[in-house]
């Protein structure tokens, strides 16, 4: 499944727009990583545990969006946007949305 955050895909033509698709995840922080991060935060610097956690969560949200697009028989998603919001209780919602389209490669 081809994903871009532009309106069109280079080298392809959009044949049909199937509709808006989205995927989200709500990820609560992991206690072990939080304690590790607390220690790392004493000196500062990158919190790799959290980076990985959010990376995986965002990938999961994207995979759900792709699954929705496949259910529409689309073969690409354009104008992909991401949002992240902190939710009360130490959780974060990651949301990915875009327009599912059918594209064909330019000859």
Partner 1 sequence: MGDLPVALLVILVTTSVSVLLGLIGLFLEKGYEAKLAGREAALGAFLILDLDTVPGMAPTAGQLVSGNVVMGTGYLKQFAASLRNLVGGEIKGYQRVLDLARREAQLRMVEAAVALGAQAIVNVRFETSDVGGAKPFSEVFCYGTMVK
Residues of the shown chain interacting with partner 1 in the complex, contacts defined by CB under 8 A: 2-7, 9-11, 29, 34, 37-38, 40-47, 50-51, 54-55, 58, 80-87, 89-92
Q: How far is the CB of 7 from partner 1 (least distance, A)?
A: 7
Alpha carbon distances (Å) from 16 to 13, 20, 33, 74, 100 = 9, 12, 44, 9, 9
Check if the beta carbon of residue 101 is closer than 8 Å to that of residue 77. yes
Q: Which is nearer to partner 1, 19 or 38 (CB)?
A: 38
Q: Which is nearer to partner 1, 59 or 73 (CB)?
A: 59
Q: How far is the CB of 100 from partner 1 (least distance, A)?
A: 14
Burial of 105 (0-12, 13-18, 19+ CB in 10 A): exposed
Q: How far is the CB of 68 from partner 1 (least distance, A)?
A: 16
Count CA within 13 A, CB hemisphere, residue 77: 24
Q: Which is nearer to partner 1, 30 or 73 (CB)?
A: 30
Q: How far is the CB of 8 from partner 1 (least distance, A)?
A: 8
Q: Is the dihedral of CA 85, 51, 55, 12 positive or negative?
A: positive
């Amino acid at each position: 499944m081809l994903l871009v955050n532009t309106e069109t895909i280079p080298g392809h033509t959009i044949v049909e727009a199937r509709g808006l698709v989205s995927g989200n995840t709500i990820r609560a922080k992991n206690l072990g990583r939080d304690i590790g991060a607390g220690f790392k935060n004493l000196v500062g610097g990158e919190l790799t545990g959290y980076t990985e956690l959010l990376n995986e969560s965002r990938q999961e949200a994207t995979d759900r969006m792709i699954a929705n697009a496949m259910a529409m028989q689309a073969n690409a998603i354009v104008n992909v946007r991401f949002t992240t919001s902190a939710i009360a209780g130490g959780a974060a919602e990651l949301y990915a949305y875009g327009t599912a389209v059918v594209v064909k490669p330019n000859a």
